[in-house]
Each structure stands twice: as C-alpha cells, then as structure tokens.
Amino acid sequence: MKNVEVTVLRYDPDEDESPKYQSFPIEAKKNMTVLDSLFLIVEDQDPTLSFRCACRLGMCGSCGMLINGRGRLACRTKIEELGDKITVQPMRNQTVIKDLSVNMDNFFTNMEKVKPYFVPKEDTDEFSIIPPSSGRREIIDENQDCITCGLCYQSCDAVAIRGNDFIGPAALSRAYNLIADERDGAREERLDLVTEEDGAFGCHSFGACVEVCPKGIKPMVTIQKIKMKKIKRSLGLKW
Ligand code: FES
C-alpha cells in the first residue's frame, strides 16, 4: 500500500463557471492502475466523478486521458510508474462533456471523411486474399492495431492550431492503409480526399502522435507516405 494523491481536473459545463482541480487521497495497492484509482474515488469519495471506460484491457480505446501531462490509457497506466502525486485531465482538442469524459464527435467525423472502409473494385478477377507472408501484406498490416482511442488526435498540434477540420493522425493512418491496398477501388479518390487543405499536407511533423500511441503506431511517418504518394502520382510515377 502506498499513499497517493490523485488530482483531477473537474468541470461540468452545466454547473461550473470554469474547470477546477480537486485532489483525492487514495491508498494504492500494487499493480493498481489510474483507472482503478478513479473507480476507488467514485466508490469511496465522490460518486459524481465522470470518466469513460469499457474493456479495462487496452482494447476498446475509451479511457484515454492526460495523466501527468501525457496522453495515456488509464487502464494501462500503473500508479507505481507515476509517483505519489498524479494529475489527471481530460484529452485536449475535444470538448469536455463532464470531468474526464470528452465529446469525440469531431474525431469520428474526421474518420468518416476518409471513407474508412474497403471499396471492392468492379469487374476484377483479382484474388482478394493476400497471403500473410507476402510483402504486400506487410504494407497493409501497418496501423491495423489502431483502437481509435483518440490519444494521437488530442496530442496533435496541427489539430490545436488548425482546428477540428484537420483530419488528424488516426484517420490519415486509416486512409493510408486503404490507399496502399492495391485491391481497393477507391484509392484514387481517397488519396485526393486526404490531401486537400485539411489533410496530410497540414501535418507539420511535430511527432506527438508517435509518442503517445499506446499501440506503437507511427501516424506521423504514415502521413509522410501519403504525401509521397500524392507527389509521385502528380509526377506520373508509380505510387
Ligand atoms: S478501458 Fe478499454 S482501453 Fe482502457
């Protein structure tokens, strides 16, 4: 057991004039996560604390928040890695619904913009299954592990500067997977969609998305590949 102070940025837009910090002392057990500590606060100290979670396994992507200033999944962040004082804030670049729960509509609207689904080619006999061992498979394996937690989006300075119309790292990564898939019938259209004003060329390569991704995906690198594909296509080269 260790005594830890968890400080949460509280805000209820319907009740409060402005956000304010509130501290909760807790007794942390070994291997306790930040998400566990939030549940403990709800059970023992303040049942009105709001946050979002579902799987508690790092799979559903719903417990993203700023923990000691860095975007992390609360269910995969152990208290013992953080010290005796922990500060928890809602994700950036999104509107707070209450406390640590944010409205992710802009994130998912941007995901929809890139047509994040496979479009079969018409009139083709091309074999649709790519063997796992093939080099073609490696290209489209990239980014498949994304759990749409929004941590890359909340960390993105281009979103902060340009606003929520900027498509953002997760949606661009998803788009790249389909653009790089030679079986996809909407590659051309998708490449144009993601290289318009609010697309890949709006990325300034700050790299925060790479730092925070809990799945080790590198959206910034992927976005550079989208830019290269667009340039190659403009020059009439194979892309
Ligand atoms: S609760 Fe599902 S990723 Fe944390």
226 and 175 Cβ atoms separated by less than 8 Å: yes
Ligand 1 centre from 57 Cα, in Å? Answer: 5
pTM of the model: 0.92
pLDDT by residue for the chain (239 residues), tens digit each? 889 999 999 999 999 999 999 999 999 999 999 999 999 999 999 999 999 999 999 999 999 999 999 999 999 999 999 999 999 999 999 999 999 999 999 999 999 999 999 888 877 666 567 777 777 777 766 678 999 999 999 999 999 999 999 999 999 999 999 999 888 899 999 999 999 989 999 999 999 999 999 999 999 999 999 999 999 999 999 89
The rounded Å distance from CA 41 to ligand 1 centre is 18
The total domain count for the chain is 2
Position 163 in a domain: yes
**46 and 89 together in one domain:** yes
Three-state secondary structure string covering 36-103:
HHHHHHHHHCCCCCCCCCCCCCCCCCCCEEEECCEEEEHHHCEHHHCCCEEEEECCCCCEEEECCEEE
Phi-psi region of 115 (alpha: psi -120 to 50; beta: other; left: phi over 0): left
- On whether both 9 and 125 belong to a single domain, the answer is no
For residue 59, give the ligand 1 atom closest to its CA.
Answer: 3
Residue 53 CA: nearest ligand 1 atom is 1
Query: Which domain covers residue 135, as residue numbers?
Result: 104-234
115 & 38 share domain: no
Residues 80 and 163 in one domain: no
Same domain, 196 and 216: yes
Q: Which of 76, 94, 112 is the last residue of a domain?
A: 94
How confident is the model at residue 144, as a pLDDT? 85
At residue 2, the 3 state secondary structure works out as: strand
Beta carbon of 61 within 6 Å of any ligand 1 atom: yes
Predicted pLDDT at 125: 64
Residue 180 lies in a domain: yes
**Whether the CB of 60 sits within 6 Å of ligand 1:** yes
DSSP structural state of residue 155: H
Q: Look up the CATH number of the domain holding residue 133.
A: 1.10.1060.10
User: Do both 139 and 51 map to the same domain?
Assistant: no
Distance 111 CA to ligand 1 centre (A): 20
Question: Which atom of ligand 1 is nearest to 60's Cα?
Answer: 2
> H or E stretch including 39?
helix 34-44
Measured CA to CA, the distance from residue 169 to residue 180 in angstroms comes to 16
- Does a structural domain hold residue 99? no
Sequence-distant (≥ 6) Cβ neighbours of residue 26 within 8 angstroms: 3, 4, 5, 6, 37, 40, 41
Ligand 1 nearest atom to the CA of residue 61, by list position? 3
Residue 180 CB neighbours (<10 A): 19
CA 155 – CA 205 distance, rounded (Å): 12
Residue pair 72/65 in contact (Cβ under 8 Å)? The answer is yes
Q: 75, 162 in Cβ contact below 8 A?
A: no
Please give the distance, rounded to the nearest whole angstrom, from the Cα atom of residue 35 to the centre of ligand 1.
9
